[in-house]
Amino acid sequence: MQNLFSDKTITVTELNATIGGCFESPLFHGLEVFGEVSGIRVVNGHAYFTLKDEKAEIACTCFGVARTYRPKDGESVVLRGGLDFYQKKGKLSLVANTITPVGAGALALAFERLKKQLEAEGLFDAKYKKPVPAYASDILVVTSKTGAVIRDIVTTVRRKNPLVDITVRDVRVQGEGAAHEISSVLKRVDGLGYDVIIVARGGGSLEDLAPFYDEELVRTVFAMKTPVVSAIGHETDFSLLDFVADARAATPTAAGELVAYDYYALVDSLKRADERMLRSVRTMYSGKRNRLRAACIKVSADAASLYDRRMNGVRRLVERAHALAEQKAQAATGRAEKAVGMLDALSPLKILARGYFSVRAAGATVTSVRSLRAGDEIEARGADGTVRASVKEIIADDGRPNGAGA
């Protein structure tokens, strides 16, 4: 075994210690290294990534990345720090104390500073947010007519609602002067009676979206009376306009979904409500009808009972009247029988039956013999028949014949 080693043979630990000692030189500290960030990940507040250019790369670490700028993949940055050699693993890395963005990174840093300023002023406070109308009928879209954004919004709105009015104001959505142009349009349309305004554009780089980080535009939207919906870029993009707007839509399509009420669902809901109301009315009517029937039955029963009571009273009255009439009839019958008896006793027939005759001459009853003359024709009616005869002689009670020597 000893033949395998020489005086120059060292261990890995010794080699790495020697290399590590080399990097303790001031030459490798206070470095400023420019490159592009790749594969960044943050673990327990520490950032681990690779810094590269066209021909080389080096592993980098930034402990406590929250105290400096946190880069994204693809950003160009300047790292300030020193080299570190981890002897246990034999790994060389660049340890960054500060990270400064270059290009888009610098722009992002400026936007972040403006965001903090505006946030401190209260421009993003929820208490200033105006509600988006639930049933907007007049919608204004501020965007570029040349992009796909307006087509996505209109298609989405029309799929839900065929009635809502959509007006488009064509503006530039990127480049120098775009933010001022959008601000001017918003100021002009704020008092025109639109229910809601959508400010929209598609995705793009941070430089493309720069107009929507503009301070003038943010302050204009904050001062507006009309509710404003921001629909800028993709779902992961957040511009300053998103923070100041009354509502944020992740995409232009989502903005169309947000501002347009579902006409077809509303009509269906109204139909169902109408059906429920009709069922309720029918149920109410049925209940009232049943109660009315019950009341009628009760009234009928009460009326029948009252009728029976009244009829019983009437029957009792009739019975009393009948009894009274019977009594009076009996009394009248008695009086009539008595009168009949008296009349019967005075009847001429009764008299004739006792042997008397009723004599008539010349159609008149003969009450005195002196009214007759000899030769007169007379009728003598008795109880059992009539006798016709001629008067031969008349003898009055004084004994003298009538007309015979008077």
Summarised one tens digit per residue, pLDDT across range 107-140 is 777 788 899 999 999 999 999 999 999 999 999 9
- Better pLDDT: 40 or 75: 40
Do 219 and 237 lie in one domain? The reply is: yes
Residue 107 domain flag? no
Residue 114 domain flag? no
Query: For all residues of the chain together, what is the average pLDDT?
Result: 85
Dihedrals φ, ψ of 73, to 5°? -55, 135
Q: What is the pLDDT of residues 230-279, one digit of tens each?
A: 999 776 667 899 999 999 998 899 999 999 999 998 888 888 988 888 88
Question: Can you say how many angstroms the Cα of residue 308 is from the centroid of all Cα atoms in its chain?
Answer: 54
pLDDT surpassing 80 at residue 354: no
Dihedrals φ, ψ of 205, to 5°? -75, 170
Do 133 and 28 lie in one domain? The reply is: no
Domain edge (last residue) among 45, 68, 102: 102
DSSP strand E in 245-352: where?
247-248
Contact 137, 195 (CB under 8 A): yes
Name the domain count of the chain: 4
Residue 18 domain flag? yes
Do 86 and 205 lie in one domain? The reply is: no
Minimum mean pLDDT among 4-8, 214-218, 392-396: which range? 4-8
Band the pLDDT of 326: cuts 50, 70, 90: confident
Band the pLDDT of 406: cuts 50, 70, 90: very low
Residue 113 domain flag? no
Do 339 and 353 lie in one domain? The reply is: no
Do 217 and 279 lie in one domain? The reply is: no
Helix, strand, coil abundance in the chain, percent, nearest 5: 45, 25, 30
Domain edge (last residue) among 300, 322, 346: 346
Separation CA 226–CA 130 (nearest Å): 8
Do 23 and 63 lie in one domain? The reply is: yes
Predicted pLDDT at 300:
73
pLDDT surpassing 90 at residue 60: yes
Contact 139, 164 (CB under 8 A): yes
User: How far, in Å, are 6, 16, 73, 89, 92 from residue 10 at the CA level?
Assistant: 9, 10, 41, 17, 20
Residue 311 domain flag? yes
Do 62 and 143 lie in one domain? The reply is: no
Minimum mean pLDDT among 4-8, 40-44, 316-320: which range? 4-8
Do 342 and 367 lie in one domain? The reply is: no
Residue 174 domain flag? yes
Band the pLDDT of 404: cuts 50, 70, 90: very low
Sheet of 386-390: strands edge to edge? 364-365, 358-361, 377-381, 386-390
Do 252 and 288 lie in one domain? The reply is: no
Separation CA 358–CA 380 (nearest Å): 5
Q: What is the pLDDT of residues 163-190, one digit of tens each?
A: 999 999 999 998 889 999 999 999 999 9
Separation CA 23–CA 10 (nearest Å): 19
Q: Which residue range is the domain that position 41 belongs to?
A: 2-102
Do 341 and 352 lie in one domain? The reply is: no
Dihedrals φ, ψ of 290, to 5°? -65, -40
Which residues partner with 42 through β-bridges?
47
Do 137 and 252 lie in one domain? The reply is: yes
pLDDT surpassing 50 at residue 307: yes
Single pTM value for the model: 0.50
Greatest Cα pair distance, the chain, in angstroms, is 231
Highest mean predicted confidence (pLDDT) among 188-192, 293-297, 355-359: 188-192
Predicted pLDDT at 383:
73
Do 254 and 234 lie in one domain? The reply is: yes
Residue 110 domain flag? no
